[in-house]
Amino acid sequence: MGTLLYKTNLMRGKRNLITDVPGIKVGHVTLSNHAIQTGVTIVLPRTDNIFQNKYAGASQVINGFGKSTGLVQIDELGTLESPIALTNTLSVGTVAQALVKLMLKDNEDIGTTTGTINVIVGECNDGHLNDIRGCHIKEEHVFEAFEHAKEDFEEGAVGAGRGMTCFGAKGGIGSSSRIITLDEKEYHIGSLVLTNFGLKQDFTYHDLKAEEMETVEKGSIMMILATDVPLDARQLKRVCRRMPISLGRLGSYMGNGSGDIAIAFSTANTFPHYAKEEIMNVKTLHESKIDKVFRAAIDACEEAIFSSLVHGESVIGRDGHTTLSLKEILANQEKDTGENKDENK
């Protein structure tokens, strides 16, 4: 069957998850019941109040066939002020409303004595396996994912990734992290992805046999990048712009129907909602050293995508539609190859 290990010469974090960046937690709620194969995943950037204590943030729309919310303001102001949620395409509104309610609960000033809140919700279309028209995600699912967010979390066909397909195999949630050294101190770069893209015959890591050659790329991917390296919004944007390299290494050409979006934030500097001083002192990485970040971020994102496949499990969903795990596809191919050899003896 070949190896399902991702090889890297860079140093991984302790968990090899986005939560290796201190302060970050991830929560899932998974719905799996016959035609209902969907869920919610939420990334908490910090344990205290993200609205009152914002982080530098940026995004990049690589191919804009998507319906994410909150990207306009994050790119205009360069700050992240809410958790980041992931779900299916037709549940973005419900999840966004739930995030708003969570933020209102902890911030009585929102909408009264100060401005409103910019919540971030990313999506992919899980309609092949999931009854997406049923809009089965409810606000309580978001509240539950938020409440149970933790540092050690599952990957694969869980949360928002339950109904997703990647390179013709079962995709979903994947994560990875890298450690780099700057000024003799270790820093972390983590990635979490929601994978729902790629054609089976294009996958570079394994020769996946397609019964019929697919010609239309209709999938999407959400890429979340987090780091404790002191990067400003402009530098984070530069990191986001390089994420297509991770997709290309694996075989994606980011087709017309693919929504490919990267969101990045740095936990190194806090930007208070209410200004205590008119001038802020902010640390930033020297531009001549940013290649270390580029390389680690691309590597972590690529492994996160691969990890979503390695951790995937076969799912039977709407109308009997079935997506096999990468492991099962490779095992079946190996079995077929062995049988063909026996017939030719």
Q: Is 314 a catalytic residue?
A: no
Please give the pLDDT value at position 51.
98
User: Which candidate in 175, 258, 266, 325 is catalytic?
Assistant: 258
Q: Is the pLDDT of residue 18 over 50?
A: yes
pLDDT tens profile 268-289? 999 999 998 999 999 999 999 9
Q: Is 260 a catalytic residue?
A: yes
* C-alpha to C-alpha distance for 17 and 28, rounded to whole angstroms: 15
pLDDT tens profile 240-270? 999 999 999 999 999 898 899 999 999 999 9
Q: Is 207 a catalytic residue?
A: no
- pTM here is 0.95
Domains in the chain (CATH in brackets) are 11-343 (3.60.70.12)
User: Which candidate in 126, 228, 232, 260 is catalytic?
Assistant: 260
Indicate the average pLDDT of the chain: 94
User: Which candidate in 82, 220, 266, 308 is catalytic?
Assistant: 220
Percentage of residues of the chain with pLDDT beyond 70: 95
Please give the pLDDT value at position 344.
58
